[in-house]
Structure 1
Amino acid sequence: MLIFPLINDLSRKIIHVDMDAFFAAIEVRDNPSLKGKPVIIGADPRLSGGRGVVSTCSYEARAFGIHSAMSSKEAYERCPQAVFISGNYDKYQEIGLQVREIFHRYTDLVEPMSIDEAYLDVTENKLGITSAVKIAKLIQYDIWKELHLTASAGVSYNKFLAKIASDMEKPHGLTLIKPEDAVPVLASLPVEKFHGVGKKTVEKLHQMGVYTGADLLDVSEMTLIDTFGRFGFDLYRKARGISNSPVKTNRIRKSIGKERTYRKLLYREEDALQELGKLCQKVAVSLTKHQKKGRTIVLKIRYGDFSTLTKRHSFSEATDQADRIEKEVRQIFEEVGQPEKGIRLLGVTVTNFK
């Protein structure tokens, strides 16, 4: 049996900065009459025939259970008094670049994850400040003073823990996870709070009796590798606070996609098209968040016999709109889909970015 050494790099000082309800916060800032109201960035279903998807929403709207990628129709049903705003993505992008400029005052080791969040390595920084917590506070102050927006920050010795820390106290929070606190903090968390653990992985972990980080510590490395492959190797280490991935300044995203596996096979065309519509909405939200527009759409279908079909279609004008993506996906599916075979998995990807 192979034994993989547990090497934990404690030398880095990493900050994860996540803007608070970024798009909605900008709209409230620019229109003070919206303050305290449930604001949703997305098409108003009363004007769009029930179509559209939530890009993001204010914390007041989140109190009703509304979240990104939810259909605008469901959001309206949950909160009829919500204020729907279609969004000004050029403005959001411009302000996102202003936030990024603030990051670069302190370090050039910045890895943007989307328009509203980034990792910063401040181990050695431009101001020679030894405290990463102090730098995080200064960044929060600069963002508030110059842009009148708030951000939450997490500080730790790796990206995985910094991301978890930034989610622990929102909005406008600042959390530090020290090396000696990493395992106790992780042990107390439900596994779905582990960044990178998706729904399918959570389901498998629950089937194994694993619900918290403490439960995860009791599972052997080889069991996790046998069950999850390479991700099991990473998961074993993350439960112990080990994640040595560096901040990458040249991270380039080449595609954005979503897929879902179905326990019960889909045999009806209308069911498959409904599921594809949901995937298209999620892809559109992710495209907007990552400031991407693509010219090529890829449909992936895996059938009950595990045979897999992929079909792509390209067009001249790049898009990030759910309706446009769904129109192309439906057309592809109607040409090549064979729901009578039983569909096990559906996936939608947009690539060939502008």
Structure 2
Amino acid sequence: MGILDLLRPGTAARSRSTRPTGGGVLFRSSFATQHPNELVWNDYFGQLSPHGSARPYSRLDALRVPAIAASRNRIIEHLAGRPLVDYTPEGRAEQQPAWLTRTDNALAMSPYQRTVAMLDDHIFNGVSAFAVNRDAGGQITEALHIPFDRWHQDEYGVVFFDGKEVPEDQVIVIPAAHPGLLVAGRDLIEGGLALEQAWRARAKNPVPSIILNEREDNGMTMEEAKVYVDAVAQARSNPNGAVMFIPFKIDASFEEHSGESFLETARNAIRLDVAAHMNLTAQSVEASKVQSTLTYETAQQAEAQTADRMAFWSEPIEARLSLDDVVASKHRVRFDFTDSRKSTTGTYTED
């Protein structure tokens, strides 16, 4: 039984408590609620408390930041639907490996979803892996994405699946060009979550636009003050609320909401920082550039720039899948960008 067979439903129960011996680097799922290296993590980064605990941030934590979710979605939008194609030095290979365009398995994971899972691993964790089956000649016949929390690699490059060592020809480790947002973008996630919390707090407890102060020192009761507050509030909601009468004993001051302006600026800055981490343009995450850096460009130009930057995410995948343990010698695998509406399987037809 190979590693890919263990991913199918109906196999024997698997223990997640099994851990390898030997001190290898242990990758953990971004969905995990606990991290096995929390103490070591704190030694390096100090006390992290995104949820009142010492654990690192998770993928779901990161996706709570709208700018991160938008950036992730943009990468998925540009790459996940592109079919993978095998090329020879002469051009497109006449006989395409079936596993590139379909997955014959009981999990019913389409090539699209397989690519989505791989890109998610790259964006948040910096590495992904496929479990593969091979024919008698060593060529891959089937490939499935391995959930990130079910595999790890030790310091010697040996791969473990559910805590057990697996043959190297049954798994393909695909590293990204980025160490993963959960590591490289920890401060960004922390700042983004803090901003989202600040927005919610401000929405629940808005700063008053008008403050009524007494001119006299004899003091009002709460009931007397409420009369004036209600009167001003009613006047403000009136169609003619631009004009109101304030008695001499009351001094009205109008507050400038610098807090909201700061939060808006900070949220835009987060979008720019996320775009930098993800190698995207400001336009692709709907962020505003600094005025001095603005240049005129059409929507088509902005979209073309975003597409050009997808190479940062696509090329590591193409390079790994072009090695001789994946395809025949002198073959190379590339994403097909010729038609954004082209299906990954079957023949394209009009809607």
The higher relative CO (CA closer than 8 Å, separation ≥ 6) is in: 2
Q: What is the TM-score normalised by the length of structure 2?
A: 0.21
Q: What is the TM-score normalised by the length of structure 1?
A: 0.21
The structure with the largest alpha-carbon Rg is: 2
